[in-house]
Amino acid sequence: MAFLGVIKALRGSVGAERIGTLVAQWGDELRTALARRIDKGEWYPYAAFAQLLAGADAEIGDGKGSLCVELGHAAAKNDLSGGAFAVLRMLASPRHLIGSCERVWPRYYRDAGRMEAVSTLPERTVLRIHDFPTMAPEHCRMMEGWMISAMSILGATVMPGARESRCTSLGAPYHEFTCAWSR
């Protein structure tokens, strides 16, 4: 689902033709994955997803992850307003969404570790992704955007400073995302 959502968002922002030209240059795994029609019910190699995010950030974005944050915002809006997890919008509170992360994560990513809600408290919410040392930094930025937007869609006001506070690419044992929010 994440792969298809990023492709759709990029096509919508810069056009299908330009994206088609660019992705052909962004890596072998991505080129192979896109050689056939994308199917939302199929799993794609993580390397292709990482190449898609890195290529988009370098060619279309600022090379510092801001495009990936925006892609995360767009994905959350799609997912919670008619996409895969629209029911969460109707039923879930921000704390419920945070607490359900262990069940939601494997619906997006296969062989990508596990997500854990360490704290669901509004004053200090902490999520961790364990056993996924190869998670691309661009994916980390995308997750920041997804989490902030998902919380907002569910009625929370996320305070400034929401971010990935620990990352395996910087030597941490896991990825850790922290924020504070209010209703």
| Cα end-to-end span (Å), the chain | 29
β-bridge pairing 181-182 and 157-158? antiparallel
Q: What is the 3-state secondary structure (H, E, C) of 20-44?
A: HHHHCCCCHHHHHHCCCCCCCCCCC
Instruction: Please give the pLDDT value at position 84.
Output: 56
Instruction: Please give the pLDDT value at position 136.
Output: 97
Is residue 51 domain-shared with residue 70, that is, in the same domain?
no
Tokens of 90: 């109707």
Is residue 38 domain-shared with residue 94, that is, in the same domain?
no
- Name the domain boundary from 59, 76, 91: 59
Instruction: Please give the pLDDT value at position 138.
Output: 97
Q: How far apart are CA 113 and CA 174, in angstroms?
A: 10
User: Contact 169/119 with Cβ under 8 angstroms?
Assistant: no
Domain membership of residue 15 as a residue range: 2-59
Sheet holding 175-179, edge to edge: 114-121, 124-130, 175-179, 163-166
Instruction: Please give the pLDDT value at position 71.
Output: 95
In DSSP notation, 117-180 reads EEEEETTEEEEEEES-TT--HHHHHHHHHHHHHHHHHTT-EEPTT-EEEE-GGGT-SSEEEEE-
Is residue 48 domain-shared with residue 70, that is, in the same domain?
no
Is residue 84 domain-shared with residue 123, that is, in the same domain?
yes
Is residue 96 domain-shared with residue 49, that is, in the same domain?
no
Is residue 93 domain-shared with residue 175, that is, in the same domain?
yes
Instruction: Please give the pLDDT value at position 62.
Output: 96
Instruction: Please give the pLDDT value at position 85.
Output: 63
Q: Where residue 127 sits, what CATH number does that domain have?
A: 3.90.1520.10
Instruction: Please give the pLDDT value at position 155.
Output: 86
The reported pTM is: 0.90
Tens digit of pLDDT at every position of the chain (183 positions): 688 889 888 988 898 889 888 988 999 999 999 888 888 778 889 999 999 999 999 999 999 999 999 999 998 888 877 655 656 556 667 888 888 889 889 988 888 999 999 999 999 999 999 999 999 999 999 999 999 998 898 889 999 999 999 999 999 999 999 999 998
Is residue 19 domain-shared with residue 74, that is, in the same domain?
no
Q: How far apart are CA 66 and CA 46, in angstroms?
A: 21
Instruction: Please give the pLDDT value at position 89.
Output: 59
Q: Number of folded domains in the chain? A: 2
Is residue 81 domain-shared with residue 166, that is, in the same domain?
yes
Identify the residue whose tokens are 């019910």.
41
User: Contact 92/101 with Cβ under 8 angstroms?
Assistant: no
